[in-house]
Amino acid sequence: MKPSFQTTLSENEMQKLHGASLTILEDVGMQIEHPRARGMLEDAGARVDNPRNIVKFPVDMVAASLAKIPKKLCLAGRDPEYDLNLSYDSPFATRCATGLTAILDSRTATCRDATVQDQQDLATLVDALENIDMAGPLTLHDVPAKTADLHATRVLLQGQRKHFMNLTMGSRNMRYQIEMQLAIRGSREEMKKRPLFHPIACLISPLYIPEDDIEIMMIAGEYGLPLKIPVMPMLGASAPVTLSGLLALGNAEVLGAFTVLQTLCPGNPTLYYMVPALMDMRTGSSVYAGPENNLLYTAIIQMARSFYKVPSDTTAFFCDGILLEQTIFQKGCLLQNAAMSGANIISGAGNVDGGMAFSPLQLVVDNEITGFIKRLLSGFDLSDNTLALECIKRVGPKGNFLTDRHTLENFRSQALFSPSIFSYQNFSTWQQEGKLFSERAIDAVRNIRADHKAPPLEDHVVRELGRIVKTADAEIAGS
């Protein structure tokens, strides 16, 4: 039995929000600093003000672009068993946090810069954790800054087998990343059919796409790679101070990005990806995991799933702060809310401190929370066997089901969710072990690091990845 997904907007409210976004795109437009792209958009029907770099989109142009977005896409792993075949109504998958600059040591509550070894550790953890479906790069500090993204790409391609969302320092770096992917896939056709990573192009709120991010879109289209365009409006700063105003602007930015991408690269796979943030007007600090964030995510997922019928990515593993007591609650609320709303990708596993730092302990905890939520969404099996009417007749009033053959035949397939870090122990049993929750998480990280290793790539592929990165270091970073 499939779950009924929760909603927060009525049909009329979704139509009203969509209409408001269309008005923004038609009357305000977007600033696009790429002359060739503006020309292509103008040829497709957009109204272009070249002196101001402003592009305004007619309603029918937006509608035509929405119709070009593929309803399904493949985010492939190294091996087919790790492939994710997504559509707007597919079960949710989880993605590790990306771009984080620091590593949090939860035992000492200290942060330090991320390194190549931390990227390798992250790759090993993601490869081993059964409920984390995609990996992601860190921002590395012990390699040349201009090519740090390429070093992270190399580690992720070598050190784990799952798909990942990739970050790039720019369009020039992106071509080296694609060259590394081609070294593994062997041909452009195979890479397009089963891409190992997908890039992102950035949109800056409000309503601005930088020139080089347009180049990234075009390169993605050249190779047929799925592309995400994160939209990150902040309440009261880069978006209106009202939740509805933020939604209207953010949705307009998503639709505008769709229109640009599908005009420049028709039919290129993409996802609806909005990451709203709130500004606390009392302190000026950002809030990523308050009740309002939950409300916004429900609306965002509903628009993607029910109104536009395109796959969505939702960064609902966010949390504010670093203490496990707080992050577990916030992530549990956000994750369950996003999953119950019908998200397709739930991103940010392992992040703490508002998406600034990565915590290995948090990643194994997020893996466990995800297992809990997946079981929650699996629903009921109402078959004749599981309804157990014959068993109930046999046992009857005041009987004992423990000794009935139906229990023996079904207890393994009907086993309860089995946590590895959380515990169902009562107090007296827990006393015998004597480990705190954080100690169990530390043990889980330590055991994976000691015992797990992804199968290696072939030696000639490893050498080729190293050659590509070394060439990029020399040509881009001058080192």
Specify the amino acid at residue 271.
L
438-473: pLDDT as tens digits: 888 999 999 999 999 999 999 999 999 999 999 999
Tokens of 244: 């509805």
Can you tell me the distance from the alpha carbon of 136 to that of 196, in angstroms, rounded to the nearest whole number?
A: 12
**Burial (0-12, 13-18, 19+ Cβ within 10 Å), 284:** exposed
Check residue 2 and give its pLDDT.
Answer: 61
**Residue 394 φ then ψ, to 5°:** -65, -45
Nearest-CA neighbor of 358 among 84, 96, 102?
A: 102
Check residue 54 and give its pLDDT.
Answer: 98
Average predicted confidence (pLDDT) for the chain: 94
CB atoms within 10 A of CB 161: 18
Check residue 211 and give its pLDDT.
Answer: 97
Please determine, for residue 100, whether its predicted confidence score (pLDDT) is greater than 60. yes
Check residue 283 and give its pLDDT.
Answer: 85
CB atoms within 10 A of CB 6: 13
Q: Answer for the pair 67, 74: CB distance below 8 angstroms, yes or no.
A: no
CA atoms within 13 A on the CB side of 336: 13
Please determine, for residue 1, whether its predicted confidence score (pLDDT) is greater than 60. no
Lowest mean per-residue pLDDT among 72-81, 428-437, 462-471: 428-437
DSSP code at position 397? T
Can you tell me the distance from the alpha carbon of 378 to that of 3, in angstroms, rounded to the nearest whole number?
A: 8
Check residue 322 and give its pLDDT.
Answer: 79
Can you tell me the distance from the alpha carbon of 431 to that of 423, in angstroms, rounded to the nearest whole number?
A: 12
- Taking residues 329-340, what's their average pLDDT? 92
34-67: pLDDT as tens digits: 999 999 999 999 999 999 999 999 999 999 999 9
**Cβ neighbours of residue 423 closer than 8 Å, sequence gap 6 or more:** 430, 437, 440
Is the model's pTM score more than 0.85?
yes
Check residue 207 and give its pLDDT.
Answer: 98
Tell me the percentage of the chain whose pLDDT exceeds 90.
Answer: 82
**Residue 265 φ then ψ, to 5°:** -135, 75
Q: Answer for the pair 88, 309: CB distance below 8 angstroms, yes or no.
A: yes
Q: Answer for the pair 252, 24: CB distance below 8 angstroms, yes or no.
A: yes
**Can you list the alpha helix ranges (DSSP code H) found in 265-348?**
291-302, 324-341
Give, for 48, the enclosing helix (H) or strand (E).
Answer: strand 47-49
Tell me the percentage of the chain whose pLDDT exceeds 70.
Answer: 99
233-272: pLDDT as tens digits: 999 999 999 999 999 999 999 999 999 999 999 999 999 9
**Can you list the alpha helix ranges (DSSP code H) found in 89-187?**
116-128, 148-159, 171-185
**Residue 296 φ then ψ, to 5°:** -65, -45
**Burial (0-12, 13-18, 19+ Cβ within 10 Å), 323:** exposed
107-156: pLDDT as tens digits: 667 899 999 999 999 999 999 999 999 999 999 999 999 999 999 999 99
Q: How confident is the model at residue 386 (pLDDT cuts 50, 70, 90)?
A: very high
**Residue 131 φ then ψ, to 5°:** -105, 5
DSSP code at position 284? -
Q: Which residues pair with 336 in a beta bridge?
A: none
178-193: pLDDT as tens digits: 999 999 999 999 999 9
First to last CA, the chain: 58
Lowest mean per-residue pLDDT among 268-277, 376-385, 447-456: 376-385
Tokens of 152: 């992270």
Q: How confident is the model at residue 418 (pLDDT cuts 50, 70, 90)?
A: confident
Check residue 281 and give its pLDDT.
Answer: 84
- Taking residues 382-386, what's their average pLDDT? 92
Nearest-CA neighbor of 441 among 360, 322, 356, 361?
A: 361
Lowest mean per-residue pLDDT among 1-15, 158-172, 178-192, 331-345: 1-15
